[in-house]
Amino acid sequence: MNDYLILMLLLLAHIAGDFYFQPDCLVGKKLSSSFRKRLYATAIHAFIHACLVVFLLLMLKMSWDDLLVTTAVIGVTHFIIDSLKSVAVIKWVDTWEENEQPEEGSKPRKRNRAFYWFVLDQLAHLSVIILIWLGLFQPFSSIVEYLSVEYLVVVISYLLVLKPTSVLVSLILKLCETREKKDRTLDEAGAVIGYIERLVILTLILVGQYTAIGFVIAAKSVLRFGENKGKDTKLNEYVLLGTLASFAIVLFVGIATIEVLEILKCN
């Protein structure tokens, strides 16, 4: 019996629903000033989550009562948590820096709190998933034979280092953005480069090729530095922060994945 399969499936449904099945237009409506649009978008988002949970858990031979309870709890709590987050972001996402001394002729900088609400939102959703798993599915003996927890752990790791990490890094960078910052790069190209970079790094970590990771980071740093020959300090610091934040997250996910796989082997 492997009780961790259901937990992995619930986490997989959450990652897929929050980052891969939530289009930008839906995210925008959730932050709309119109209460009706926010309500509609949040309800659709919660419904998508519930459908993903049903789709994944139907592969398991569990009772309909457990399936309905799990789907209902995740759908309802997701709606409540996201509704509270939307209200919080709209009300407090941008507040003036306290005790800031702006330069003459310039306005005080705004502090973007979206990063903090994002972290709190994800922690709340993960807490609900873990509580459901502990309350309903420990122990649970009926699993699909061809599925393995090890496989799902690796799949979840790769999903985490793509869009979720991209969102998290962008929110970290927004903490350091200034009003004078100008767009000098293609956002879509930068996102794709980040995806490929993190896929390569995570793969190298999982196969134990840590030395090769240094070459990937060094190559990107040299190319980025060569764009402006080190003249634009702010841009260099911005790029360096994004690279290090992305690398740190992938490193953490990779090492955590290896540790989880080792624990599962021992069990």
Mean pLDDT (the chain) is 78
> What pLDDT does residue 228 have?
55
Beta bridge partners, 110, equal 96
Confidence of residue 213 (pLDDT cuts 50, 70, 90): confident
> What pLDDT does residue 142 have?
44
> What pLDDT does residue 238 have?
73
> What pLDDT does residue 100 have?
46
pLDDT at 147 over 70: no
pLDDT at 152 over 90: no
Assess contact for 98 and 113: CB atoms under 8 A: no
Q: Which residue has the higher pLDDT, 51 or 155?
A: 51
CA distances from 132 to 1, 6, 41, 55, 94 (A): 19, 10, 25, 17, 34
pLDDT at 201 over 70: yes
